[in-house]
Amino acid sequence: MYIHKKELLFPVQVKSPNPAHAAAVLEQFGGANGELKACLQYFAQSFSTPDPAIRDLLMDISTEEISHLEMVGECITQLMGGPDKEQKMEEMGADERKMSGEGNILSDAKSHINNMMHFNFNSTVQKSMILDGHGLDFVDSSGTPFTGNFINNVGDLVANLQSDLAAELRAKKVYEELYRHVDDPGAREMFQFLIDREAAHATLFEEAIMRAKELENKKAHQTGDHVNMYFDLSLGGLAKNEFSFAKQAKVFEGPVEPKE
């Protein structure tokens, strides 16, 4: 079971709202390499993980990722100009609303955003404005919805942990790109924290992979006659001369004759 505490794992204090930057950060809220994906992947894998220590590790990191998700959600909300707390539109009659048009009833942040909508037209910002009134959707930076397809889980511990290591490295890379593109110092402090944490997780998963390999029986692997072959199918390249595997293996261009 879970307990939620009303403080962020790491404090988030955006200095200057910028809706296009908010849209960029959505990539890590509902995107393919984002915090929700990581949280759910480790959570799902934990149910079928036989080793208790690795199962615990998966739940520790999964719980940290949902805490990251909360930080990223707070960052996006602040970059969008804050929640539309007053919801003044609700309080106006139809005539007033007709007269006001947009602008005069809006805070400066909102006016800035409306200008963006008229002159710059980022479609993800536009959708967020129309649909949510500064709210949050589980979409990526292009407005594409989160999907369970992002989550990797097969019944093999090493394969799962390798998928987790790869997920951490991709997430870290995306935060590095966000660091380059989003110049708000408060957001960058959060990105740096998250880069550090994904690096720590990557190191932990590397250790867990070694542990999982040791847990496996050392008997002969279940491969057959076609492992030590290099198929040179993209003609004119370098790989067959550069990779030691290819140098030791049988290099040929196929097809394989049937075994007797």
In whole angstroms, the minimum distance from the beta carbon of 112 to a second copy comes to 13
Does residue number 17 form part of the binding site for a second copy (CB under 8 A)? no
> Which residues are bridge partners to 251 per DSSP?
230
In whole angstroms, the minimum distance from the beta carbon of 155 to a second copy comes to 2
In whole angstroms, the minimum distance from the beta carbon of 44 to a second copy comes to 5
What are the backbone dihedrals phi and psi of residue 210, each rounded to the nearest 5 degrees, phi first? Answer: -60, -45
List all residues 6 or more positions away from 218 whose beta carbon is below 8 Å from its beta carbon: none
List all residues 6 or more positions away from 189 whose beta carbon is below 8 Å from its beta carbon: 13
Near a second copy in 159-178, by CB under 8 A: 159, 162-163, 165-166, 169-170, 172-174, 176-178
Name the nearest CA neighbour of 12 among 110, 82, 87, 86.
Answer: 82
Does residue number 107 form part of the binding site for a second copy (CB under 8 A)? no
CA distance linking residue 228 with residue 59, whole number of Å: 38
Whether the CB-CB separation of 241 and 235 falls below 8 Å is answered with no
Residue selected from 87, 104, 214, 260 as contacting a second copy according to rule CB under 8 A: 87
Does residue number 47 form part of the binding site for a second copy (CB under 8 A)? yes
Residue pointed to by tokens 């090493």:
158
Does residue number 224 form part of the binding site for a second copy (CB under 8 A)? yes
Does residue number 8 form part of the binding site for a second copy (CB under 8 A)? yes
Near a second copy in 123-142, by CB under 8 A: 123-127, 129-142
CA distance linking residue 35 with residue 183, whole number of Å: 21
Name the nearest CA neighbour of 193 among 20, 23, 67.
Answer: 67
In whole angstroms, the minimum distance from the beta carbon of 94 to a second copy comes to 4
Long-range CB contact pairs, 251-255, < 8 A, 24+ = none
Does residue number 119 form part of the binding site for a second copy (CB under 8 A)? yes
CA distance linking residue 133 with residue 84, whole number of Å: 7
Of 108 and 130, CB closest to a second copy: 130
Q: How many residues bind a second copy (CB under 8 A)?
A: 174
Near a second copy in 65-84, by CB under 8 A: 66-67, 70, 73-74, 77, 83-84
Does residue number 91 form part of the binding site for a second copy (CB under 8 A)? yes
Residue selected from 14, 38, 40, 187 as contacting a second copy according to rule CB under 8 A: 40
Residue selected from 97, 99, 115, 252 as contacting a second copy according to rule CB under 8 A: 97
Of 14 and 49, CB closest to a second copy: 49
Residue selected from 54, 79, 184, 187 as contacting a second copy according to rule CB under 8 A: 54
Does residue number 217 form part of the binding site for a second copy (CB under 8 A)? yes
* CA dist list (Å): 178 to 39, 95, 195: 20, 43, 10
Does residue number 101 form part of the binding site for a second copy (CB under 8 A)? yes
Whether the CB-CB separation of 117 and 129 falls below 8 Å is answered with yes
Question: Tokens standing for 121?
Answer: 């037209």
Question: Tokens standing for 139?
Answer: 């979409």
